[in-house]
Amino acid sequence: MKRIPNADEFRVAFERVRRDYDHLFRRQLDALRARYDGLPPEQRPPDFDEALEHHARFYLINALLAGLNWRLDLSLEDGLPNLFSEIAVRSETSGTRRFLDYLGIERSTNNPLLIVEAKRPNSPLPVLATLPDISTKRTRQRTVQSAISVTDTGSVVISRGLAGKPLGGDWSQWLQDLRDYVRSVNASTGKVPKRVVITNGDWLIVFLKPADAFVEAGECDSRSILVFRTSEEILEGSAVLFSELEHQAVLGEAPVLRPAELLFHLEPSHIQNAMHGLRLR
């Protein structure tokens, strides 16, 4: 199976998969549901979209990870896979068995490199929650006030959530789940994954320093959290995403570069210095 060598090819591959999902697969799924379930979209119960998580994972998230060279389906000729789904781990918090949606590993040691948590397609991005204001006789809702707006769906909100600030919807629980996953993997292997991702196939959030975010106490530096709010932002930020989440980048191994790929790793102004260093070597 061909390795994706750079951010440009990753962008092209993900753009094609996203387009196919929106214009082909999603329409066919809707048609199948309308025929076999007997309910038009506007009459389906609110939790009906739960079933879409499997399809989003299969069509979008698998393809996104494959574009970053995390592969579930390598043949023996290509070597063993570096990504596995539904891996059981013993919870450090409860002692029960929990399942990781995806676990990326170092092939030679089975050490953890990547944890990916998949959410259903209609899952929202995080916002700060609202709390009851009991400063007056009648209770009214007030927005949690801080240095940021509740409409901010960026890394600062997530950082506040990691520090204990309540987030809207299920996000406080989701961050607790990620914390449990990372600590449980660390307890089992003595290793903290190098990256943690949570995504619904459209938005995507990357924790660049999982130890700081989920193992250490205190507020995580928001600069170590990357937030892509839409698939368009994933495409626009493909160079950053590829450099931070591509398999060999996370593994810490430099791939063999073709001349055409040099500009993904080296500024043009630095090429002369690099060639001078190569001659000296």
Tens-place pLDDT, residues 243-266? 999 999 999 876 666 666 666 666
- Residue % of the chain over a pLDDT of 90: 53
* Angle, CA 140 vertex, CA 139 and CA 142 arms, to 5°: 135
Instruction: Say whether pLDDT at 136 is over 60.
Output: no
Spans of all domains in the chain: 7-252
Task: Report helix, strand or coil for 78.
Answer: helix
**Nearest CA to 65 among 119, 14, 107?**
14
CB of 224 within 8 A of CB of 210?
no
94-122: average pLDDT: 93
- 107 vs 31, residue with greater confidence: 107
Phi-psi region of 228 (alpha: psi -120 to 50; beta: other; left: phi over 0): beta
Mean pLDDT of the chain: 82
Q: What pLDDT, on the 0 to 100 scale, is given for residue 75? A: 62
Dihedral over Cα of 192, 164, 145, 121: its sign: positive
Q: What pLDDT, on the 0 to 100 scale, is given for residue 182? A: 97
140: pLDDT confidence band, cut at 50, 70 and 90? very low
Topology of domain 7-252, CATH? tt1808, chain A (3.90.1570)
* Angle, CA 159 vertex, CA 158 and CA 160 arms, to 5°: 90
- Residue % of the chain over a pLDDT of 70: 73
* DSSP structure class, residue 264: G
Task: Report helix, strand or coil for 143.
Answer: strand
45-57: average pLDDT: 60
User: What residue has token string 């490199």?
Assistant: 113
pLDDT in tens, 172-211: 999 999 999 999 999 999 999 999 999 998 999 999 999 9
272: pLDDT confidence band, cut at 50, 70 and 90? confident
**DSSP per-residue letters across 79-109:** ---SEEEEEEEE-TTTSSEEEEEEEEE-TTT
pLDDT in tens, 55-107: 677 788 999 999 999 988 766 556 678 999 999 999 999 999 999 999 999 98
Q: Is 247 exposed, middle or buried (0-12, 13-18, 19+ CB in 10 A)?
A: buried
Burial string for 9-33 (b: 16+ CB within 10 Å, else e) reads bbbebbbebbeebeeebbeeeeeeb
106-130: average pLDDT: 90
What is the value of pTM for the model shown?
0.79
